[in-house]
Amino acid sequence: MNNFSTEYQIRINKVDEYMKEALKPYSDCEKVLIDSMNYAVFNGGKRIRSILCMETAAMLSGSAEAAMPFAAAIEFIHAFSLIHDDLPCMDNADLRRGMPSCHKKYGEAIALLAGDALLNTAFEVMIAHCKKGGVGTVEAMESVGRACGVHGMINGQVRDIELMASKDATEEKLIHLIEQKTMALMMTSVECGAYVSGADEETRKELVKFAYNMGVAFQIRDDFEDEEEDGEDAQNSPNFINTLGRERAFSEMNRYAEEAISIISHYPNNEFIMGLMNFLFKK
Amino acid sequence: MNNFSTEYQIRINKVDEYMKEALKPYSDCEKVLIDSMNYAVFNGGKRIRSILCMETAAMLSGSAEAAMPFAAAIEFIHAFSLIHDDLPCMDNADLRRGMPSCHKKYGEAIALLAGDALLNTAFEVMIAHCKKGGVGTVEAMESVGRACGVHGMINGQVRDIELMASKDATEEKLIHLIEQKTMALMMTSVECGAYVSGADEETRKELVKFAYNMGVAFQIRDDFEDEEEDGEDAQNSPNFINTLGRERAFSEMNRYAEEAISIISHYPNNEFIMGLMNFLFKK
């Protein structure tokens, strides 16, 4: 893969195009709701989850198409979670990717509803797709539902609140927290790609393990980025840097990334995902 | 039907039992999240939507069982919407059914997440059921998704915010508002009952029309109840009483209820739903 960034951008554009189409049937609804949903979704996100989803399918079946509705759904869920995370009663964040957060731009009530609407939209997109049939579609939708809900991300957000209040973060507690808060969506991304490709259970579980390791590495990388961007702010919430120290956090990131790479290296047609791993962890 | 109240309570207990079972798999998750979800769901609600759903199926097919997962999902969605509606950035309601609202009891962050979790749970319950197969299950799930989202309830909540701000409520605007905010869930309740009973399109549409008329009547009835409970508070938000006056609101309620009754009266095995209509609108 000669020019990874170009290839990556092509995929971002594909997901964004699909998500724009998915939101179009809402164009006759209340403008402020549609505007706020679009504002929160199309904010320059890296689309890492949706691209993982599509590229898992592409690696296994040669085509990313069947994974697209799930990729988009997961991205809508990610956007919903960020809107609600930013609200004053949660992280009270005025900025998201350098722009006013959704509630700063549209007010709290509309932001709350935009988040609700994006969660609902995620399921609407998946249900419409499942209705057409196709290998593994209901299983994929089930996986997304589980990853987002009380067995996944939302429970992880509660763990985050509790860990922040307790002020006794350890590496074990952090892993326990991000397993749900961050990695559940990463893992379902890869699992959906495997389901719609008709992968067997062993392959699916191995790829979820890849996503687990990749997810921890990604979270530590994110903590380093946050530290650069936010400076002191990042010190207040429990993260890998202030829990492990910079040096150990860095070596742990590499250890998890290497584990992920060693899993994915067995697969034929792994060029893009290997490129992604190098892009994220080797530069 | 000799003792409608007893029959009604039996159905409330059935739905509640099913919902309790549906939340049990979460018992190993964060206690405060599970507690707050249970607090918001089991608060003495009338379960009107879920009972409509089950009784539509019972009327058409002789059994309410197939409708149960959808009935419960709609009730979870109703509970989610009330938690978020009560939040300070929305209605800022300290009380719900005479008890502290979810955020008053658990704090805003947990209440926000409990609402999110209940919306997600609604889909998880329906997906698990759809996976087993069965007549009309995916169509029913699609109907619920549409009724809850940007084409339904959530858009209706935005309309509510806008109508409240504009202070120019008319009967037409109120109907336009509650079509989504209140009636979308009523209509999908009945539609789900029809879908899982394998009803033909004509029957389904006629029953949705019943739900539409019943829904308007129910909303006006609710406005009268709110007026009794809240006194002056109810005057501030646009409703049928302060828009039409008490006398016209009452006659409109009866007109819509009569229309609903005239539709349902054609159906054999309509005893319970007729009993419900009498219970709600004739006492």
Residue of chain A whose Cα is closest to the Cα of B112: A84
pLDDT tens-digit map of A71-107: 999 999 999 999 999 999 999 999 999 999 999 999 9
pLDDT tens-digit map of A248-270: 999 999 999 999 999 999 999 99
- Contact status of B274 with chain A (Cβ, < 8 Å): no
User: Residue A19 — very low, low, confident or very high, per pLDDT cuts 50/70/90?
Assistant: very high
Contact call for A158 and B112, based on CB within 8 A: no
Cα end-to-end span (Å), chain A? 15
pLDDT of residue B214: 97
Q: Alpha-carbon distance B146 to B184, whole Å?
A: 9
- Contact status of A132 with chain B (Cβ, < 8 Å): no
> Is the CATH number of domain B4-281 1.10.3720.10?
no
Segment 177-196 of chain B within 8 Å of chain A by CB: none
Domain assignments of chain A as residue spans, ordered by start: 4-281
Beta-strand pair B95-96/B99-100: antiparallel
Q: Hey, what are B170's tokens?
A: 């008319």
Residue B273's alpha-carbon distances to A213, B60, B66, in angstroms, are 55, 12, 18
Helix (H) or strand (E) holding A184: helix A183-196
Q: Alpha-carbon distance A250 to A221, whole Å?
A: 8
Q: Which residues contact A269 (CB under 8 A, 6 or more apart)?
A: A58, A59, A60, A62
pLDDT reading at A231 higher than 90: no
Average pLDDT value over all residues in chain A: 94
What share of chain A has pLDDT > 90, as a percent? 89
pLDDT of residue A235: 53
Are A156 and A217 spatial neighbours (Cβ–Cβ below 8 Å)? no
Beta-strand pair A99-100/B95-96: unpaired
Using CB atoms within 10 A of its CB, is residue B164 exposed (0-12), middle (13-18) or buried (19+)?
Answer: middle
- Contact status of A166 with chain B (Cβ, < 8 Å): no
Reduced DSSP (H G I as helix, E B as strand, rest coil) percent helix, strand, coil of chain A, to 5:
75, 0, 20
Dihedrals phi, psi of A99, to nearest 5 degrees? -115, 160
pLDDT of residue A103: 98
Contact call for A29 and B151, based on CB within 8 A: yes
pLDDT, one tens digit for every residue, chain B (283 residues): 568 999 999 999 999 999 999 999 999 999 999 999 999 999 999 999 999 999 999 999 989 999 999 999 999 999 999 999 999 999 999 999 999 999 999 999 999 999 999 999 999 999 999 999 999 999 999 999 999 999 999 999 999 999 988 888 888 999 999 999 999 999 999 999 999 999 999 999 999 999 999 999 999 999 998 888 766 555 567 899 989 999 999 999 999 999 999 999 999 999 999 999 999 998 5
**Residue among A78, A81, A116, A144 with most chain B CBs within 10 A, to mutate:** A116
Contact call for B138 and A159, based on CB within 8 A: no
Q: Alpha-carbon distance A145 to A122, whole Å?
A: 10
